[in-house]
């Protein structure tokens, strides 16, 4: 299925198809702090299994709700926040999870259920009993679409709409380097299957609360350039959340502005986590132009992600953090 780009790896398609055919009861989940691909592939897979006559339930921890406003239109009312009574008998499908720590829920991370791991992160740790990891896929939604075709399922409008959300969000509206002709062909198939393109776009990108723009304004105001102006940093503090009235979920998209600055090689958005997280700050990283592998930077600090988009959590103060990031930039690009 994967034929574009270097370093493409596909494993386990036949094993995963076999398990999906032979097993009957599933619990589906995706990474914490879910994005459009996590939610889209979760819903798409749920639809697919339903069509195959399987018993499928979706699970996301209660702390993820309410979801970021742009995803609230997705039909996720049936999502479980607690394990179902027959959990012991279910096969768990992890979607868009590069490693098991991306789903830090006790009954999932330490349970003895059979695990199917379906993902496209190049640093996926292959934590499943069977693993379908397609690093050449734009999104996990694209992989789920491939599974639907291989299983002879009909692409219903509901399935198509969910998978399209995964495709459009993980490719940055078909503009990131993971976008290729195949991505557009899949999009075309999904549109043929019933996606309302303009309505989806409006729901994802044009229902912006004023608080989110006010938080963006503060973040733009706080932009600093370091490391020969190759490292662009902004810091969203608890005071910024308070002043703007925005929640932590409203930081999404800010980093794209940082990355777009002329001369940028790495954009870093640092966010206070208040009492919401385990570490004091969360750092999102984007590579601008692709010369720097930000997933290597994130991994060296216990995080993960893609070469061009990654993140980690830290207790470092701003100054130490900037100096760590600058060292990493210099290590990869030279002084
Ligand atoms: Mn993804």
Question: What CATH number does the domain containing 38 carry?
Answer: 3.90.1640.10
Segments forming the whole domain that contains residue 110: 13-205
Residues 32-55, mean pLDDT to the nearest whole number? 97
Cα–ligand 1 centroid distance for 228 (angstroms): 32
Statement to judge: residues 200 and 215 lie in one domain: no
Give whole-number Cα distances, 271 to 229, 242, 261, 296, 332, in Å.
Answer: 21, 13, 20, 20, 24
Cα–ligand 1 centroid distance for 99 (angstroms): 13
Cα–ligand 1 centroid distance for 38 (angstroms): 6
Statement to judge: residues 184 and 325 lie in one domain: no
CA nearest 268: which of 214, 324, 218? 324
Cα–ligand 1 centroid distance for 239 (angstroms): 31
pTM, to two decimals:
0.84
Where a domain ends, among 145, 171, 205? 205
Statement to judge: residues 22 and 139 lie in one domain: yes
Rounded Cα distance, 161 and 157, in Å: 6
Where a domain ends, among 205, 223, 256? 205
Structure tokens at 221: 């105001």
Statement to judge: residues 328 and 240 lie in one domain: yes
**163 Cβ neighbours under 8 A, 6+ residues apart:** 40, 41, 44, 141, 142, 144, 145, 155, 186, 190
Rounded Cα distance, 167 and 39, in Å: 11
Q: What is the mean pLDDT of the chain?
A: 93
Rounded Cα distance, 37 and 43, in Å: 10
Residue at 121 is within a domain: yes
Structure tokens at 188: 């075309």
Statement to judge: residues 290 and 189 lie in one domain: no
Tens-digit pLDDT profile for residues 84-114: 999 999 999 999 999 888 888 999 988 899 9
Residue at 323 is within a domain: yes
Cα–ligand 1 centroid distance for 286 (angstroms): 15
Statement to judge: residues 42 and 178 lie in one domain: yes
Residues 178-194, mean pLDDT to the nearest whole number? 97
Whether pLDDT at 244 is above 50: yes
Rounded Cα distance, 143 and 123, in Å: 17
Cα–ligand 1 centroid distance for 136 (angstroms): 11
Where a domain ends, among 152, 181, 205? 205
Statement to judge: residues 180 and 227 lie in one domain: no
């Amino acid at each position: 299925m994967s034929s574009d780009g270097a370093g493409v790896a596909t494993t386990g398609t036949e094993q995963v198809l076999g398990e999906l055919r032979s097993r009957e009861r599933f619990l589906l989940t995706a990474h914490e702090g879910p994005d459009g691909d996590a939610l889209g592939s979760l819903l798409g897979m749920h639809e697919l299994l339903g069509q195959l006559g399987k018993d499928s339930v979706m699970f996301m921890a209660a702390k993820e709700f309410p979801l970021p406003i742009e995803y609230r239109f997705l039909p996720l009312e049936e999502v479980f926040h607690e394990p179902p009574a027959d959990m012991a008998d279910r096969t768990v499908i992890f979607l868009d999870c590069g490693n098991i720590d991306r789903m830090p829920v006790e009954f999932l991370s330490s349970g003895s259920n059979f695990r199917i791991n379906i993902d496209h992160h190049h640093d996926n740790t292959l934590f499943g009993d069977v693993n379908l990891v397609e690093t050449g896929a734009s999104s996990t939604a694209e992989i789920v679409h491939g599974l639907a075709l291989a299983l002879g399922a009909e692409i219903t409008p509901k399935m198509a709409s969910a998978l399209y959300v995964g495709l459009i969000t993980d490719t940055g509206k078909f503009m990131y380097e993971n976008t290729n002709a195949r991505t557009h062909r899949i999009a075309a198939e999904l549109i043929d299957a019933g996606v309302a393109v303009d309505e989806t776009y409006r729901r994802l990108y044009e229902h912006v609360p004023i608080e989110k723009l006010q938080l963006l304004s503060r973040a733009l105001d706080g932009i600093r350039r370091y490391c020969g102006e190759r490292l662009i940093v902004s810091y969203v503090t608890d005071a910024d959340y308070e002043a703007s009235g925005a929640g932590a979920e409203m930081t999404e998209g800010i980093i794209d502005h940082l990355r777009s600055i002329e001369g940028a090689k790495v954009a870093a958005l640092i966010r206070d986590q208040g009492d919401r997280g385990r570490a004091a700050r969360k750092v999102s990283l984007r590579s601008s132009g692709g010369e720097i592998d930000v997933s290597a930077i994130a991994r060296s600090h216990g995080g993960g992600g893609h070469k061009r988009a990654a993140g980690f959590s830290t207790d470092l103060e701003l100054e130490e953090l900037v100096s760590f990031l600058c060292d990493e930039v210099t290590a990869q690009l030279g002084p």
